[in-house]
Amino acid sequence: MKLVTYFVLLVYFSNSVLSEKLRYDNYTVFKIHVENSVQVKLLRDLQDTDFRFDFWTHPDHRSKFVQVMASPEDRADLQKLLTENNMNAEISMSNVQEFINKQTLKRYTRNNIGSMTWDAYYSLDDIYAWIDDVVAQYPNVATKVIGGQTYEGREIVGIKISHGEGKKNIFIEGGIHAREWISPATVCYIINELLTSQVQEIMAAAIDFEWHIFPVANPDGYVFSVESERFWRKNRRVFSEGIGVDLNRNWNSNWLVHGASTSPSSEVYAGPGPFSEIETRSMARYMREIGDQMEIFLTFHSYGQMLLLPFGNTSEPLANYDEAMNIGRRAMGALSVRYGTEYVTGNIVEVLYEATGGTDEWVKEHLHVPIVYCYELRDRFQYGFLLPPEQILPTGQETMDSVVDIIHQMRRFGILTSAGMAFKASTMLILGMVISFFV
């Protein structure tokens, strides 16, 4: 190994292990207005070659603007580039650290599942401890499951919720991108609702299906985002040229075709090959074991308020596109009822940008799951990855509303291969009450 490689590794390990948590004092987030294809290309080239700038959103001709974060040292260079190319920009955040300070982290109290509340974010250890306690409190229906392992030796911990054998399953993935904290928080809220809610439709959904739920699919990255660098996205695998693979570009579905990089320094590095990462390989094995029973796959990301369908390499209406669009649009209508939050529904290319190698694409292509969606949760470019804690609960509530409606719409469209008895029973109960009222 060359001396320069040793030096690079030393620098990375020093930054990730020995140094204090990175602060973002006076870091600036710019909202850059995109007006033509020339400007899109300019920003894409900048994203691909100059890693000083953190692109919170991807440059694309579908985008009206792109959000980019710059350090105080690099801010002038970015502004100069924008001025020289007649690009308009405004400042979304002038001091990013101020917004980070508002994202409170709470400590979970062991053996008290009610101490996890929906007004704060939690560390990986606290999320895992909560899952242990949930399983202990609901031993007849909840089981701790291990979906895979990580580069740094952690387990990818999930929970299975099942009221009996032989049921079709719903799989939920959260936190594959480390900095998207609202994703694990929302997934944990869904777990809590499935076990504790007294709402008839949620209770029926919990009973009718076997749920496999993983709040944090990228544990190493999440820990690093909490403890060291708030905006870390990838896993933590070490390369001589950089650290980390974007796990949502590493799945073996149109790998490296669009929206990914071959540079380990890039935020969207797809890895040296498809399934090169232990996290994606081991999770794929877990999914294959239950894949023939999977009716719904949901993955939660942030941000932008979008419901995305596969695929990310074409806007062609592949697979059961029309059914999925109808169900998705209706579900997003249900989501909007509670707080008026509006989502856009469409496939990845239609709504967002070209991007391949994600979990949702692989699940659709290889497991042939009827309904596959990727949620881009709140918000629409105000707080970005720094969604305030007071929005955790409303995000969870409206998202749960939409998940229940997805199930309802799938029954309505006749997509589910087995009708849940709990849903039928609750429907007949309500019908009976109505009839008795008029008799």
Active site residues: 376
> DSSP alpha helices (H): ranges in 197-245?
200-208, 219-227
Alpha carbon distance 230, 22 (integer Å): 8
| Nearest partner of 366 among 280, 426, 242, 246, judged by Cα | 280
**What is the spatial distance between Cα 386 and Cα 389, in angstroms, rounded to a whole number?**
9
Q: DSSP of 141-166, one letter per residue?
A: TEEEEEEEE-TTS-EEEEEEE-SSSS
Q: What is the C-alpha to C-alpha distance for residues 160 and 170, in angstroms, rounded to an integer?
A: 10
Which among 323, 319, 219, 327 is positioned nearest to 279, based on CA atoms? 219
DSSP 8-state code for residue 291? G
Q: Are strands 371-377 and 294-302 parallel, antiparallel or unpaired?
A: parallel
Burial of 6 (0-12, 13-18, 19+ CB in 10 A): exposed
